[in-house]
Structure 1
């Protein structure tokens, strides 16, 4: 009976913890709604299975407890039960996976008015690149990286000359404006993760991965690397500041462009 009571308390406590959990319904970005819907479906399916399994185990512990003279019956297989369990598992897994396909489609279908923002990762630093007045990001290649050109922007691409370069600083975003996050790694596998934005994506060397979202609340949020990338992995942190349009524009005007970065790295003339 002690085991049965422990299982019953575990079951009730788990359900209450889920129902009373305070983290629900705190939207900070546009993708919260459809990602949360997928999470709720997953919680319902796995929750029903959890309740059923724990209840069944508790029942079996009580129903088939040891009694003098009782002997266990040996049944090597039960085809009906196996078919039922296999079918039920397949349906449950499909019910969890199919909504994810629609969510993934929304996650990567970028609206036309989304502003591009490049996030560049390296051991163990976050850097960012924003378009200049032309609204376009210039081409960049890892092989073009140098001390004077830390993000490898193509010097011959005029679209990149006015790009805003932010090396190891804060990324600022305007609230209520969709952003197209372009992810690039210049050394090993990293993962761009902002928990409050429901945003997470691997950064694979040699590839550009992406997603989009619209920040809907001002504030300061941590950027984490969610992929083990070396001894400094736990210290690879950054910051996203979401602010009103006027504050964002004032911050943007204080940042250096790629042209200014190149000029600052050139030898100064002597008298």
Structure 2
């Protein structure tokens, strides 16, 4: 709610708050959950949500919960840079899946988190938390460590200052250990995790470069901890990331 002395949000601002409520990656939200996240009264939220449903931007489900509608998806998928990066990456991701038969993921940096642009998985792949457009912590994922390692040091310090939340048995929560881990990622060009984001999983990721030395994304394999040797996947992930980087470097930077 608006506090005394604070300017009330505009209608546009309220609508943006409603749509942002789905940003954490939740597929379905109730009216109460949306209004709580958007900091809106139920009556206001109900009216605006009804308009968004009528326009196809949100969809009301039989259980009275809501999810992102196809109209919003049609507009969002046209975002140029993510779409072009995803389209260039897909052939290499398919090759990597054919070689490993494990989860293949492509992520980019969004603020202080890793946002997933694409994911491939097979019938026997380990279940993972990621979905397309979802976001996960940088310090607890292999793609996140890559993105963090090749970002300005200020980002690492900001992530540390926010607190290194423990998500699984081996999540790194010690700042000095994280800094050392990131230094190793920069040295080897690969990041590894073993039960750092979820129990039973391991992963390896490599940086994807754009023009020059800018890391624009991270490519990873996620597998079962007890049935896969994640170190064995390192060369394949690095090779696929390098091939994708060459494709990106060959593109006109003004087109991305």
What TM-score, normalized to structure 2?
A: 0.29
Rg larger for = 1
Q: Name which structure has the greater RCO, CA cutoff 8 Å, separation 6+.
A: 1
What TM-score, normalized to structure 1?
A: 0.28
